[in-house]
């Protein structure tokens, strides 16, 4: 039995969590119960209402400090169950500070409490696409340096360079503009006057302003050729609404733009003289050149000088008739005329050989240096058109392949197309275009003996 005025302490032992806490029937008011389970020691008491309450939980048999700490210290564990007071706690890495549903997490560093309750904070963005890690510099920087990143999360101290090199402006003039006072030095000009024109000062000299006359800025803002605008050299005058030219010398004819060829020269020649403009009622004279319009017929035989022998007579005859001028679309017989063949003369060529009957009438190779495949014609031949191939090797027999079976390809008619050259001998192949069958018919093959 307990001594007078003392309450016994009951000890319960159990390792079942559901029966660790004693019931109200097990304790009297003021009694303590110490129970043990797998988590460690737990201390209980019964209050005046008859409810058992937990006073202390000592999981894993923690060992508490044996002396008081100092103000502001915290308790830390050594990882083996021994607790102690410390002023500088070491936290496990990584340390995660959790945000909430509307804002990213932040770390706040308060000011001295004697000065107030403000703080500075590092805050994460409210939304991140991926994890971001910054690696701090490994050493102190020097005065004036800043943090820079290598773009991959590594931070270091560095000195910011001035854009473009040289020195920057530390102060300037309000209303001035920056300029290079030397090759690598930027300076500020003096105040530039309002509504004035800026004038460059030259190398190393600050720009300045020139005050304009009345309405000059207004005129400069008007498009050239519009009423109220300046008339500039090479610019269009336009149609001004009104104005009077004073103190001006005569405008030379040569200074008028937009005239046709030789018009200015003709305007400077006296009427009736050679080379002058023909005016209504004026004398024609003998102009060196020109075009007559709205005039009666000028006889070819007597009114046109300088024609070659027989040209006047030919112009007076019916086109495409005897002694007349032959036209490109008329029907006429040419007598004593020669048509020079267009010959594409080459020493050798690459294979395959692309040819065009629109450009040449004969293809010639004087020293063919390789086997040759001759493509179909790339031109637009007409029915009955003729073409010739003249081929000679360079001392070695060369294989010949003629493209057949396609549009504007070759077809042998009464002959055999040669398949090889004879060493140092010339061979001719003559062809006529057959529009009905869309083929170049080879009708003649001649081999040098």
Q: Walk along the chain (449 residues) in steps of 10 and give the mean pLDDT of each run.
A: 58 52 75 64 76 69 78 81 78 74 86 91 88 88 87 86 60 75 73 73 78 71 68 57 60 74 78 68 59 66 72 73 77 84 97 97 98 98 98 98 98 98 98 98 97
Q: Dihedrals φ, ψ of 9, to 5°?
A: -100, 120
**pTM flag (> 0.75):** no
Q: In the prediction, which pLDDT does 101 show?
A: 82
Q: In the prediction, which pLDDT does 18 show?
A: 47
What count of other Cβ atoms lies within 10 Å of the Cβ of residue 402?
21
Q: Return all residues near 75 (Cβ < 8 A) that are at least 6 apart.
A: 65, 69, 83, 84, 85, 86
What count of other Cβ atoms lies within 10 Å of the Cβ of residue 61?
10
Q: In the prediction, which pLDDT does 60 show?
A: 53
Q: In the prediction, which pLDDT does 158 show?
A: 84
Sign, CA dihedral 21-26-31-35, equals negative
């Amino acid at each position: 039995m307990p001594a007078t005025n003392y309450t016994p302490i009951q000890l319960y032992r159990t390792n079942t969590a559901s029966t660790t806490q004693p019931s109200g029937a097990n304790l009297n008011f003021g009694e303590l119960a110490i129970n043990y389970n797998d988590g460690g020691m737990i201390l209980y008491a019964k209050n005046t209402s008859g409810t058992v309450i937990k006073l202390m939980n000592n999981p894993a048999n923690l060992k508490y400090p044996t002396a008081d700490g100092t103000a502001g210290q915290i308790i830390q564990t050594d990882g083996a169950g021994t607790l102690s007071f410390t002023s500088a706690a070491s936290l496990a890495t990584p340390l995660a500070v959790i945000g909430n549903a509307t804002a990213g997490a932040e770390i706040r560093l308060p000011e001295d409490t004697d000065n107030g309750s403000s703080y500075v904070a590092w805050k994460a963005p409210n939304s991140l696409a991926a994890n971001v890690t910054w690696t701090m510099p490994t050493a102190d920087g020097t005065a004036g340096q800043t943090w820079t990143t290598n773009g991959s999360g590594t931070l270091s101290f560095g000195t910011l360079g001035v854009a473009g090199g040289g020195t920057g402006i530390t102060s300037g003039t309000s209303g001035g503009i920056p300029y290079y006072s030397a090759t690598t030095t930027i300076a500020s000009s003096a105040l530039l006057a309002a509504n004035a024109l800026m004038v460059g000062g030259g190398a190393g000299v600050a720009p300045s302003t020139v005050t304009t006359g009345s309405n000059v800025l207004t005129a400069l803002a008007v498009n050239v050729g519009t009423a109220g605008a300046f008339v500039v050299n090479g610019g269009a005058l336009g149609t001004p609404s009104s104005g009077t030219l004073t103190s001006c010398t005569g405008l030379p004819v040569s200074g008028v733009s937009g005239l046709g060829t030789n018009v200015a020269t003709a305007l400077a020649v006296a009427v009736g003289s050679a080379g002058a403009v023909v005016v209504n009622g004026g004398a024609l004279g003998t102009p060196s050149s020109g075009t007559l319009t709205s005039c009666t017929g000028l006889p070819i035989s007597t009114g046109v000088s300088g024609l070659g022998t027989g040209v006047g007579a030919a112009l007076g005859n019916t086109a495409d008739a005897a002694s007349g001028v032959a036209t490109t679309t008329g029907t006429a017989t040419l007598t004593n005329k020669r048509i020079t063949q267009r010959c594409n003369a080459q020493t050798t060529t690459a294979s395959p050989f692309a040819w065009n009957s629109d450009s040449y009438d004969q293809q010639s190779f004087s020293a063919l240096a390789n086997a040759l495949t001759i493509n179909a014609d790339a031109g637009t031949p007409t029915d009955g058109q003729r073409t010739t191939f003249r081929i000679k090797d360079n001392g070695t027999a060369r294989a010949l392949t003629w493209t057949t079976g396609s549009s504007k390809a070759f077809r042998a008619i009464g002959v055999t197309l040669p398949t090889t050259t004879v060493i140092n001998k010339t061979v001719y192949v003559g062809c006529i275009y057959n529009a009905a069958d869309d083929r170049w018919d080879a009708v003649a093959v001649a081999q040098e003996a």
